[in-house]
Amino acid sequence: MLTNFKNSRPQQFSFLFIVFLLLYFLVPENENSLLWRLPPLLKDIPLLINTLLDNLMFKWLTVPVYDPDWQMYEDKPIFRIITRSIADFLLFLIIFIREIFLGGLQTIGSITGGAFKELKWLYLPAVPWTAVVIGLFILGYRLKGLGLAFIASIGFFYVSIFGQWEPTMETLSLVLVTAPICFVLGLSFGILGYLSKKVEKTLQPILNIAQTMPHFSYLVPILVLFGIGDHAGAVATIIFATPPMIRLTILGLKKISPEVVESGLMSGCNRFQLLFRVLIPTARRDILIGVNQVIMQCLAMTTIAAFIGAKGLGFNLKVALNGLKIGKAAEIGICVVIIAVVLDKLSLAWANKQKDYFANLNFYKKNLATIYFILLTTILGVIAYISAFYFEEGFNYLYLIPFGEGLTIAPILDAGVDWIWETFFYYLNIFNKFLITNVLFVMRDAYLGMPVVSTFVLVMGAGYIIGGIRSCIIVGALILFIALSEYWNRALITAYMATFAVGVSAILGIVTGSLCARNEISAKFILGVCDFFQTFPSFIYLIPVILLFGITDTSVMIAAIAYASVPATRYTVEGLRSVPSSLHDAASMSGVSNFQRWKSIELPLAFPHIMLGINQTLIFALMMIVLGALIGTEDLGQIIMGCLSRPNGAGIGLTLGIFVSFICLAADNLIRTWADERKKLLGIE
Amino acid sequence: MSQSSDSSNNTPVIKCESVYKIFGNNALKLLENSNGQVDAKTFQEAGCIVGVNNASFGVKKGEMMVVMGLSGSGKSTLLRCISRLTDATAGKIFIDGEDLLSMNSKQLIELRRNKMGMVFQSFALLPHKTVIENIAFPLQVKGTNTRESMAKALEMVELVGLKGRENYFPRELSGGQQQRVGIARSLAVEPDIWFLDEPFSALDPLIRKEMQDEFLRLQAVLNKTIMFVTHDFDEALRLADRIAIMKDGIIEQLDTPDNIVLNPATEYVKKFTEDVPREKVLKIESIMDTYDPNNSSSTKVSKDAIIETLAESILNSKEILTVVDNNNEIVGSLNPTKVIKVIFGK
């Protein structure tokens, strides 16, 4: 009996659940009881962080700096000087790129120190939008072919004629500045991590936290350190987008077959030659996929960076959403999606492009594309210049279509939204009310009525069953940290929303994935759809749900479900498709039905992979739930969002961000340990 | 250090003295306690894996030594110890009389740039470089200028018969062609010592045969000192001057192909030799008798000829033949009944 219990996971889990329920109903609700809630012993952490930041920025390590305006020395903290110089440097780069696309005189002004202020003609002329579109056409053609050429050029053509050129170029300039920085940082740290086990071990937890922390939580500390504006947005973007690059670099380098390394050594490479002439070129493809990731992450973050003063599409989107101008928001949203798709396709094409051999071509043939581009840009520039005489009074449309001066479909969209509301309001409202009162609130109250001791028994018990004493302690410590803060109730609300969203997404994803994995064509199709939806910045998901459900918890839940179903579906399809075909054949010859095959062969084999998908689903859902605070929820996210406007919000924002990250990490530990064990058992990898 | 000054043909180019390679954390300590008596089982219980167990041998200049063993026998580990891709746990290795294990990384790089070349099972070509760039790579890391290294690489392309494909990328070549590139690359610096780690194992049987022929042709021209690793006993018999058969890290027998087939030293070696058609391996030399002028015909056969190639004519002649060496001097006689014995049984 006892040995049976020792070996049976289901029995152990049922026992755990019974203990949990007993505690749940037996522990009385009493604010003073330690079994009900732990005291907020760690409530000073936010304050501590604030003091630390304050000291860093204003007190520690001061050096006298000569101030030319006041003609005297002033004591300034070194740290502040460093962060502000980084900020200035980033800002210069952003403005420089921006002025290439939009024109302006700040770059030249800052180079010449304002010596030629009175010379009105001395400014950086913008590249006409027509030239950018043509340039993208040539680039797309060069990288993949006519299809990509048309997608890229038509996408940007649309952006231009709909009058979104200025904010788009502002966003793009942020991406173009941050992406290379992320690439260099990510590659360097990745190489260091590959070369030294110690560095890798130190990097691992930092990467974990950076990738699971909600974006909003580090916006405020960045605000404190770097000030408000585009540069702060750039810093936030760099912090957000570098970790995947590091990960992929390490992964790519580790994947290189040992024989290639040995062949490099036997060819007589020294360490430097081995790294730069053998290892990195061989891992080229993974590293370039990393670049694709970096670009997409940068784009996603630049839209969110609008909250700390970054200009661009994100800012306009935020303004439109705040004013509930759904039509306008949708229009901007479409632009963000277009840019995301174009950047994604271009960078992927670049990553997958095989190296061409150029040695036997002459200069003209080698640089044909560049020559065409320069030629066409010049011609279009001249045309734009000449047309300035034609459009004498208004705007020069061939040069730049100003914001709000292009076509617009916002009124149509708004009318459409109104129509939907009028027609379906009744049904939507019933659904909405039902969901909120009968499901969400019930669930929330159940979570809030959970004594802290039963939560710990459940979580740590699960840890012990799955990963032994080690997992038990890790998970317990992560949760304890939250339980000892003031925000335990908020965390419970976040947890309930996450549970609901993950549950629904997982079911949706696994069902859709299983159905689509039945044959090659539908599998490819659904993976394509997943790719498409994954390119959108999370922000975009909020637009249609607000449109349909207004500002309610339902909107947030549905956005979270839509966003989080993507990884669940993708991993299900991948997992099911990776079941070896010989097993399919063996199953067919045993005479199984389709359903039997799915249930007893494909699902068990694919399950570890699907669980990793659920892991992703949780992270995605939490991100969206925190973001959902933008339209009003009452979980951790709402406070994080609130910190943006609070003078000393940095500490709270960061602490709560770490809490959300800890929830992710606890779940991650359990799921990963379990999936690894299953994989080993099944002999996969 | 420098004993190479008096190196005559008798000093081995590669010399191993009691080389051990044991994987695991306490390998060195365990080895010291064991007094040279390494038992794979006791080591495994202590968490260590024995890769090479007390290997001692020498390879002469121009000799082709084949290391044969099944997977996990330690043959590749032995090769990697001698190329110092892994450091041996204990023992001494001399390359041209110089102590390999005491070299610093700079000396080691120098050695590899000038004296060693290696061919890998999975080809290990650099995917981002063309055929000619791959072949020129060892020269370029050495610092040879582009023109010279390209000229040399082109020479190598011709040597391995890939002319016309020098601007292809590895992905555009078949397995056999890729390995030709690997061979050319390993020869580009004109090394004295040539390591080949199961070079033909990843190829189809027909291509493998073709590559073996090609390899024998190259060796006839180049006359390198070779260590060749394989798990294929037939391949070993075909190519080797001497064969080392390994099992669990121990060299079970190290001898010429004839001797291994005729006198297997252990039960393990015997298992390999049982199914080998002897007439395909043995030379006339191994079955000839002492010369008796009264009882021999004037028909002459070379002592180095493989029995199979002459079997038909020998059996047809029905008289005792005269065996001669390379200089056409008589060294023995051959009774056709012995050939029948070799072909048809014990």
Round to whole Å and give the CA distance between B67 and B197: 9
A355·B85 Cβ contact <8 A: no
B85·A284 Cβ contact <8 A: no
Q: Which backbone phi and psi does A16 adopt, to 5 degrees?
A: -60, -45
The minimum CA-CA distance between B267 and chain A, rounded to whole Å, is 34
Which of A125-139, A140-154, A387-401 has the weakest average pLDDT? Answer: A387-401
Sign of the torsion formed by the C-alpha atoms of A189, A192, A196 and A199: negative
State which H helix or E strand residue A158 sits in.
Answer: helix A146-161
For chain A, give the percent of residues with pLDDT over 90: 9
- A353-374 residue pLDDT tens: 766 655 566 677 777 777 887 8
B122·A268 Cβ contact <8 A: no
User: Residue B6 pLDDT more than 50?
Assistant: no
For chain B, give the percent of residues with pLDDT over 90: 22
Nearest to A355 among B113, B128, B195 (CB): B128
Residue B345's pLDDT band (cuts 50, 70, 90): low
Which residue from B minimizes the CA distance to A262? B85
Using alpha carbons, list the distances in angstroms from residue A69 to A66, A83, A84, A87, A114.
9, 21, 18, 21, 16
A260·B126 Cβ contact <8 A: yes
**Which of chain A's residues have a Cβ under 8 Å away from the Cβ of B185?**
263, 267
A262·B120 Cβ contact <8 A: yes
Region A347-354: mean pLDDT is 80
Which residue from A minimizes the CA distance to B126? A282
CA atoms within 13 A on the CB side of B319: 11
The minimum CA-CA distance between A192 and chain B, rounded to whole Å, is 21
- A273-295 residue pLDDT tens: 999 889 998 888 888 888 888 88
Q: What angle do CA A503, A662, A8 make, to 5 degrees?
A: 55
- Domain ranges for chain B: 60-91+101-115+191-276, 279-344
Residue B8's pLDDT band (cuts 50, 70, 90): very low
Nearest Cα to Cα of residue B279 among B307, B249, B316: B307
B112·A267 Cβ contact <8 A: yes
Q: Are A114 and A201 in contact (CB under 8 A)?
A: no
Q: Are A101 and A132 in contact (CB under 8 A)?
A: yes
Round to whole Å and give the CA distance between A192 and A249: 10
Q: Total structural domains in chain A?
A: 1
B124·A357 Cβ contact <8 A: no
- A509-560 residue pLDDT tens: 999 999 998 888 898 999 888 888 877 777 788 878 877 777 777 888 888 9
The more confidently predicted of residues A316 and B315 is A316
Q: What's the per-residue H, E or C state across A321-381?
A: HHCCCHHHHHHHHHHHHHHHHHHHHHHHHHHHCCCCCCCCCCHHHHCHHHHHHHHHHHHHH
- A456-469 residue pLDDT tens: 888 888 888 888 88
The minimum CA-CA distance between B234 and chain A, rounded to whole Å, is 25
Q: What is the CATH number of the domain that holds A670?
A: 1.10.3720.10
For testing contact with chain A, the best of B116, B134, B140, B141 (most A CBs within 10 A): B141
User: Residue B346 pLDDT more than 60?
Assistant: no
Note the pLDDT of residue B7.
43
Residue B1's pLDDT band (cuts 50, 70, 90): very low
User: Residue A580 pLDDT more than 90?
Assistant: no
B95 beta partners: B14, B98
**DSSP code of residue A599:** I
Nearest to A257 among B83, B85, B122 (CB): B122
Nearest to A265 among B85, B167, B185 (CB): B85
**Which of chain B's residues have a Cβ under 8 Å away from the Cβ of A281?**
126-129
- B165-192 residue pLDDT tens: 888 889 889 988 999 999 999 988 889 9
Taking one residue from A and the other from B, the number of pairs with CB-CB distance under 8 angstroms is: 74
Which residue from B minimizes the CA distance to A353? B128
Q: Are A157 and A133 in contact (CB under 8 A)?
A: yes
Task: Tell me, yes or no, whether A507 lies in a domain.
Answer: yes
Parallel, antiparallel or unpaired: strands A72-77 and B116-119: unpaired
CA A460 to chain centre: 30
A259·B124 Cβ contact <8 A: yes
- A624-633 residue pLDDT tens: 888 877 766 6
The more confidently predicted of residues A121 and A550 is A550
Task: Tell me, yes or no, whether A54 lies in a domain.
Answer: no
The more confidently predicted of residues A588 and A620 is A620
**Which of chain B's residues have a Cβ under 8 Å away from the Cβ of A357?**
130, 167, 169
B141·A259 Cβ contact <8 A: no
Which residues in A have their CB inside 8 Å of a CB on B?
257, 259-260, 262-263, 265-270, 273, 277-278, 281-282, 284, 354-355, 357, 359-360
Round to whole Å and give the CA distance between A108 and B262: 88
Q: Which backbone phi and psi does B321 adopt, to 5 degrees?
A: -95, 165
Task: Tell me, yes or no, whether A501 lies in a domain.
Answer: yes
Residue A31's pLDDT band (cuts 50, 70, 90): confident
User: Residue A102 pLDDT more than 60?
Assistant: yes
Residue A393, classed as helix, strand or coil, is coil
The more confidently predicted of residues A168 and A2 is A168
For testing contact with chain B, the best of A260, A263, A356 (most B CBs within 10 A): A263
Domain B60-91+101-115+191-276: assigned CATH number: 3.40.50.300
**Which of chain B's residues have a Cβ under 8 Å away from the Cβ of A268?**
109-110, 112-114, 138, 141-142, 189
Note the pLDDT of residue B79.
92
Residue A502's pLDDT band (cuts 50, 70, 90): very high
What class does CATH assign to B279-344?
Answer: alpha beta
- B268-319 residue pLDDT tens: 998 888 888 877 778 888 788 888 777 777 778 887 788 877 777 777 877 7
- A35-53 residue pLDDT tens: 777 777 777 777 787 788 7
The minimum CA-CA distance between A367 and chain B, rounded to whole Å, is 20
Q: Are A317 and A339 in contact (CB under 8 A)?
A: no
Region A87-116: mean pLDDT is 74
Residue B251, classed as helix, strand or coil, is strand
Round to whole Å and give the CA distance between B67 and B245: 6
The more confidently predicted of residues B119 and A418 is B119
The minimum CA-CA distance between B125 and chain A, rounded to whole Å, is 7
Q: Are A618 and A477 in contact (CB under 8 A)?
A: no
Note the pLDDT of residue A124.
63
> What's the domain range around A668?
424-451+489-682
Task: Tell me, yes or no, whether A29 lies in a domain.
Answer: no
**Which of chain B's residues have a Cβ under 8 Å away from the Cβ of A269?**
109, 141
Round to whole Å and give the CA distance between A458 and A483: 14
Parallel, antiparallel or unpaired: strands A62-67 and A72-77: antiparallel
